[in-house]
Amino acid sequence: MRPAVFFNADDLGFGSGFWRAVPGLFVTIGLFLTFLGLISALGAMDLSTPDKVQSSLRELLLVASAKFIMSLTGLLCSIVFTVVLRWGIGSIEGALHTLCAEIEKRLSFISLESLAAEQLRATREQREHFRLIGLELVAELGRPLREELPAAISSSINATMGPLLQQVGQLGTDHMGSMVKDLSARFSDDVGQALAKASERLVQAGDRIGELSTRMDQSSGRIGSEMEAAVARLAQAVDDLRGTMSATAASASGAFTDGADRLLGAMNQTLQEIRDNTRAGAEAMSAAAADMRGAAEGFRTELEAATRSGAAGAAARMQAAGTDASAQISAAGSNVVQAFGRTASEIAEATRDIGARAARDLLGPLDSISAHLRETADGVAAAAGGVGRLGDGVRAGAEAAERAAGAFRGSSEALVSAASPLRATTERIEASIRQLTDATEHVAGTVSRSAEQTARSAADALAAAQTALGGHAGAIEASLAGVGEVVDRLKGQGAQLDTLDEKLGAAFDMYAVKVAAAVDTLSDYVRRMQSELAPALDTLRAVVEQAEQFIPESRGASGRRTS
């Protein structure tokens, strides 16, 4: 702590105290008396006549001058007293400052920061000392554990167990050599016989499997020929259907062409004669054209739907048949199923093409007829008259439409008759699938019987192996009897084991003695360290106590100076 903290003028009783407020009292009293006199002079003024006003003002001025002189006197006294007070306080503070300076010259100043730094330095030195102590302690304890104890234990064990291990190894070598030779000879004979029997059974099983594979090849060849025949029949049916549809389309096209020519001729003749009644004829022909176009579009829609449903039904039936066939012969005829699937897809595509071609060939004339009717209606709008002949022409057109409908009916009947060979082909394919299923079942039965024979052969081989293992069990029992004799011979080594136990006990006693000596050395070292560190701890405790004594006084002095 610095001396100025303790040598404080206020704490020593040399402070200004009450005298600090005296200069302000002088000024306050002078101003109070001045204003009091002015107020009394103003209250005594008489303003009734001019003469009295002048005398009152004169008295007021005299009183005011006296009162201001009193105020100036108080202010002068305040100034003088303040100067004297400041000079006295300054002299006291100068003397204290001189005293503190002399004290600091003759003493060494120690601050709280320097004290904390010294404590930190001492703590670091102690940490280094403790680290060195721990390292030396570990080194002193680890040396006997690493060097002396393992050497003593290993030497005692080697000296005791050497003769015993040598005798055991000699006995085991003599008895186990003959036993291994006998056992290996018997085992090799039995295993050779069992392997010979197993090889004969495996040869028989291989022959049976070869016969089975030959039967499978024959069955697959027969299935392939039947499928080829079915595919050929199906292709022939498709060709027949294509020819029938072509002929039907040609006949329908011719009928529509004739009807259109006759209708156009009648319309041309009618147009030349009906020039007068244009508007009524135009309305009638427009209505007739709209009806005929609606009928044509409805027929076209129905024909497309029928063609699409027929193609979809045929494709669905073919796909269902292919799915059933692939599910039944998936293990033996994956290639056949793929070929069948491709054939079904080609048939469905061909049917779809035929339907589209039929729709195009049959509905094309209807579109041309509707176009001609539209042109006819436009011509009728520009013409006039001839309603009677117009009726005849319309009747002729109706007859042509009836003939076209008959032609369409014949085409549909031809389409139905063409679909019947396709149905017959499908039935033949189903019969082929059933034959393929029967052949597959026959092959499966043959395979199962062969598997049963193979299982019996394996059971016989296992029985032979079990017999051989029974002979080996007898040999093993004989070997165990020889091992029992060896154990009986080893029973006499118990005394030597007891001697080994005593030597191990002596070694552990030696280890306990050395560990106790190391612990005593460690405890002595700790006591010596405590005795060396005790003075340093006492000195540090004394320094801390002195610092605690100074701390409250410094806080009180700083608080009073602040106030």
pLDDT at 80: 92
Do 98 and 205 lie in a common domain?
no
Do 225 and 77 lie in a common domain?
no
d(CA 84, CA 466): 135
pLDDT (tens digit, 9 = 90+) per residue, 38-73? Answer: 888 787 777 777 777 788 888 888 888 888 888 888
Tokens linked to 555: 């806080």
pLDDT at 188: 62
Do 375 and 250 lie in a common domain?
yes
pLDDT at 128: 85
386: left (phi over 0), alpha (psi -120 to 50) or beta: left
d(CA 516, CA 508): 12
pLDDT (tens digit, 9 = 90+) per residue, 202-245? Answer: 667 667 766 766 766 666 566 666 666 655 665 675 566 666 65
- Asked if the structure places residue 372 within a domain, the reply is yes
pLDDT at 76: 92
Distances (CA, A) of 249 to 176, 258, 261, 448: 102, 14, 18, 58
d(CA 551, CA 557): 10
- Mean pLDDT by 10-residue block, N- to C-terminus, for the chain (563 residues)? 69 74 86 85 76 80 84 89 88 84 79 83 86 78 68 69 66 60 63 64 66 64 64 64 60 55 60 59 55 56 56 54 53 52 56 56 54 57 52 56 58 56 61 64 62 62 58 58 60 59 67 65 66 66 60 43 40
Helix (H) or strand (E) holding 557: helix 494-562
Tokens linked to 345: 């897809």
pLDDT at 173: 62
- Asked if the structure places residue 142 within a domain, the reply is no
Nearest Cα residue to 269 out of 397, 377, 393: 393
Q: Give CB contacts under 8 A, 24+ apart, made by 115-124.
A: 115/543, 115/547, 119/540, 122/536, 122/540
Do 255 and 385 lie in a common domain?
yes
- Asked if the structure places residue 530 within a domain, the reply is no
pLDDT at 79: 92
pLDDT at 254: 60
Looking at residue 413, its amino acid is: E
pLDDT at 57: 82
HSE-CB at 451 with a 13 A cutoff on CA atoms is: 6
Nearest Cα residue to 186 out of 466, 471, 470: 471
- Asked if the structure places residue 549 within a domain, the reply is no
pLDDT at 425: 57
Domain of 394 in residue numbering reads as 201-472
Nearest Cα residue to 1 out of 554, 542, 548, 539: 554
Q: Indicate the residue among 104, 127, 150 that finishes a domain.
A: 104
Contact assessment for residue 386 and residue 270, using Cβ atoms and an 8 Å cutoff: yes
Contact assessment for residue 190 and residue 461, using Cβ atoms and an 8 Å cutoff: no
Beta carbons within 8 Å of 287's beta carbon, 6+ residues apart:
none
Do 320 and 447 lie in a common domain?
yes
d(CA 312, CA 238): 16
Q: Could you give the number of structural domains in the chain? A: 2
pLDDT above 70 covers a percentage of the chain that reads: 27
Tokens linked to 404: 């076209």
d(CA 1, CA 109): 7
Do 93 and 221 lie in a common domain?
no
d(CA 492, CA 489): 6
- b/e string for 94-104 if b means 16 or more Cβ within 10 A? eebeeebeeee
Q: Indicate the residue among 472, 504, 519 that finishes a domain.
A: 472
pLDDT at 450: 59
- Asked if the structure places residue 390 within a domain, the reply is yes
- Asked if the structure places residue 157 within a domain, the reply is no
- b/e string for 33-56 if b means 16 or more Cβ within 10 A? bbeebeeebeeeeeeeeeeeeeeb
Do 85 and 207 lie in a common domain?
no
CB count within 10 Å of CB 510 equals: 15
d(CA 129, CA 136): 11
Do 224 and 342 lie in a common domain?
yes
Do 83 and 229 lie in a common domain?
no
- Asked if the structure places residue 47 within a domain, the reply is yes
Please spell the DSSP secondary structure of 361-391, one letter per residue: HHHHHHHHHHHHHHHHHHHHHH-B--HHHHH
Do 312 and 451 lie in a common domain?
yes
In this prediction the pTM is: 0.23
Q: Indicate the residue among 104, 130, 162 that finishes a domain.
A: 104
Do 80 and 211 lie in a common domain?
no
- Asked if the structure places residue 370 within a domain, the reply is yes
Do 87 and 208 lie in a common domain?
no
Nearest Cα residue to 238 out of 430, 423, 427: 423
Hunting for tokens 């005849």 — which residue is that?
A: 392
d(CA 483, CA 554): 96
d(CA 483, CA 533): 70
